[in-house]
Amino acid sequence: MKLWKTILAAAVLSLAAGTSAFAARTDLVIGIALEPPHLDPTAGAAAAIDEVLYANVFEGLTRIGPNGEVLPDLAESWTISDDGKVYTFKLHTGVKFHDGTDFDASDVKFSLDRARAENSVNAQKGLFAAIDKVDVVDPATVKVTLKNPQGSFLYNMGWGDAVIVAPESADTNKEKPIGTGPFKFQSWAKGSSITLVKSDNYWGTPASLDKAEFRIVPDAAAYVPALLSGDIQAFPFFDADSVAQVKDDPRFKVVIGATEGETILSINNKKPPFDKLQVRQAISYALDRKAIIDGASAGLGQPIGSHMSPANKDYVDLTGRYPHDVAKAKELLKEAGLENGFKATLKLPPPAYARLGGEIIASQLRDVGIDLEIIPVEWAQWLDQVFTKKDYDLTIVSHTEPNDIDIYSRKDYYFNYDNPAFDKVIADLGVTSDEAKRKELLGQAQKILADDAVVGFLYELPKVGVWDAKLQGLWENAPIQANDLTKVKWSD
């Protein structure tokens, strides 16, 4: 009798185990290349912070959607005054932070005031520059008054740097992030992994995943074995050169999308001979973008003709402005009085697109008589010498911030570009919120940059994602650097 009971119990147990194997998985391990230095999106520029926390743990008034659109988030709706200066946000109610404290308008005021405070070290402080004051109308309503109308204000509030934090936990978010999102932070094994778990008291649609682990895999050589062994099920930012190893494997999906990373050959516009328009135009004619994309990015990535992503709704195709034309380039150099060519340096930061692309570009420029000396630099050196001290001739870098065409109008920016006509367009853009007018102005801006050949526009950095074929809901494009897991689930 006892034996029968045991056998029965075993049968029931194995049946239970069997059925649970058929239910969809609810855990996910995601591979990321860089470890975030800390976990507070409002206190650092590192993209890795947002790649783990954006939309998952922290939420803002608005958020950026999978295709770069502005969506409501903690603010369920808003109204804008006729002069475009006062934004009144209606907030969701019943929202709680992960530590159990309530979210209301005072948290919004606290977060925005903290980010724009004098002693703030928010890496994107410029996002908040237009804010004049933030007023709490009632617990579910907050009024933001701007110094001047700002067309991109709602978009700005969707950045990871503008997420809403609580006064109780703001100072400890670096180690123990407390947000309002569908996932809460569980643990961080430094150098190894960061684990998020589903939040039980989420105000919106709950996540499908119960647990998500971000595992840090710094070396691209380890990506493929990690996928094949099943240890890691998704690499949202995969290595372009390793795609060939998995693209024919039916167990995996390879998804090529667009980023906001304009990869450019930056030119020091004040340094002779690059201060001459003909020289910069000659460089643009000398570049063969297809060869660069093939060599530096395994053939993935779309060519660009100005500083705008082809995935952007305001994109103007200017890739035909300077077709690859060696004779024309030589002619322009002759006009500039440099028919015998000249020597210059090309400083290359560590990413593959720069190091590989740099060699190809050096050989293409040599064809028109420009002799480049390649100088590899680390990021820290690059930021110091090139970006801060502007001690460079040419460099290659991908500008990954979204909608960042305004960098060309910044005073003292490392391009050393100065064009009042362009500055005027950007200034107008800043105070325009009408969509059609903005499109017109953005088109003008792109065209001026192309005409001036400010830099050598190369290609849009692709987002190469590889994940388990049964996984759904990961972003195809990267309008911002994030891994939004709120809609991710396993199909059966």
Residue 397 Cβ, how far from other proteins at the closest point, in Å?
9
Site map for other proteins, 313-332, x if CB under 8 A? --------------------
Q: Pick from 67, 124, 419, 472 the residue near other proteins by CB under 8 A.
A: 124
Per CB under 8 A, 190 contacts other proteins: yes
Per CB under 8 A, 352 contacts other proteins: no
Q: Which of residues 126-145 bind other proteins (CB under 8 A)?
A: 126
Beta strands in 429-472 (DSSP E): 456-468, 471-472
Q: Which stretch binds other proteins (CB under 8 A): 94-102, 376-384, 461-469, 479-487?
A: 376-384
Per CB under 8 A, 226 contacts other proteins: yes
Q: Which of residues 101-120 bind other proteins (CB under 8 A)?
A: 119-120
Tokens found for residue 287: 């570049």
Q: Pick from 57, 74, 131, 217 the residue near other proteins by CB under 8 A.
A: 217
Q: Which of residues 35-54 bind other proteins (CB under 8 A)?
A: 35, 37-38, 44-46
Q: Which stretch binds other proteins (CB under 8 A): 30-38, 130-138, 251-259, 283-291?
A: 30-38
Q: Pick from 27, 378, 434, 435 the residue near other proteins by CB under 8 A.
A: 378
Per CB under 8 A, 222 contacts other proteins: yes
Q: Are 267 and 283 in contact (CB under 8 A)?
A: yes
Distance from C-alpha of 426 to C-alpha of 405, rounded to nearest angstrom? 8
Q: Which of residues 417-476 bind other proteins (CB under 8 A)?
A: none
Q: With respect to other proteins, which residue has the nearer C-beta, 101 or 345?
A: 345
Q: Pick from 57, 212, 216, 361 the residue near other proteins by CB under 8 A.
A: 216
Query: What letter represents residue 473's amino acid?
Result: G
Q: With respect to other proteins, which residue has the nearer C-beta, 330 or 347?
A: 347
Q: With respect to other proteins, which residue has the nearer C-beta, 123 or 431?
A: 123
Cis amide bond preceding 273, omega within 30: yes
Distance from C-alpha of 428 to C-alpha of 151, rounded to nearest angstrom? 9
Q: In sequence order, which residues have a C-beta less than 8 Å from that of residue 190 and are 6 or more positions away?
A: 35
Q: Pick from 98, 109, 215, 253 the residue near other proteins by CB under 8 A.
A: 215
Per CB under 8 A, 21 contacts other proteins: no
Residue 123 Cβ, how far from other proteins at the closest point, in Å?
5
Q: What is the dihedral of CA 11, 17, 18, 20, to 10 degrees?
A: 140
Residue 154 Cβ, how far from other proteins at the closest point, in Å?
19
Q: Pick from 186, 379, 469, 491 the residue near other proteins by CB under 8 A.
A: 379
Q: Are 131 and 85 in contact (CB under 8 A)?
A: no
* Inter-residue long-range contacts of 181-186, CB under 8 Å, 24+ positions, other chains counted: 181/53, 181/55, 181/56, 181/57, 181/58, 181/59, 181/486, 182/56, 182/206, 182/207, 182/486, 183/56, 183/57, 183/207, 183/209, 183/212, 183/485, 184/57, 184/98, 185/39, 185/53, 185/57, 185/98, 186/211
Longest dimension (CA), the chain: 104
Per CB under 8 A, 229 contacts other proteins: yes
For residue 431, how far is the Cα from the chain centroid? Answer: 24
Handedness of CA 250, 252, 253, 257 (dihedral sign): negative
Q: Which stretch binds other proteins (CB under 8 A): 308-316, 372-380, 424-432, 475-483?
A: 372-380
Residue 319 Cβ, how far from other proteins at the closest point, in Å?
25
Q: Pick from 132, 175, 371, 434 the residue near other proteins by CB under 8 A.
A: 175
Distance from C-alpha of 236 to C-alpha of 208, rounded to nearest angstrom? 18
Total residues in contact with other proteins, by rule CB under 8 A: 44
**Around 154, how many Cα atoms within 13 Å sit in the side-chain half-sphere?**
26
CA-CA distances (angstroms) from residue 8 to 4, 200, 299? 6, 36, 60
How is 60-93 classified by DSSP, letter by letter? Answer: -SEEE-TTS-EEESSEEEEEE-TTS-EEEEEEPS
Q: With respect to other proteins, which residue has the nearer C-beta, 78 or 159?
A: 159
Continuous segment of H or E residues that includes residue 131: strand 131-138
Per CB under 8 A, 401 contacts other proteins: yes
Per CB under 8 A, 193 contacts other proteins: yes
Interface residues toward other proteins, by CB under 8 A:
35, 37-38, 44-46, 119-121, 123-126, 174-175, 189-193, 215-219, 221-222, 225-226, 228-231, 378-381, 383-385, 387-388, 399, 401
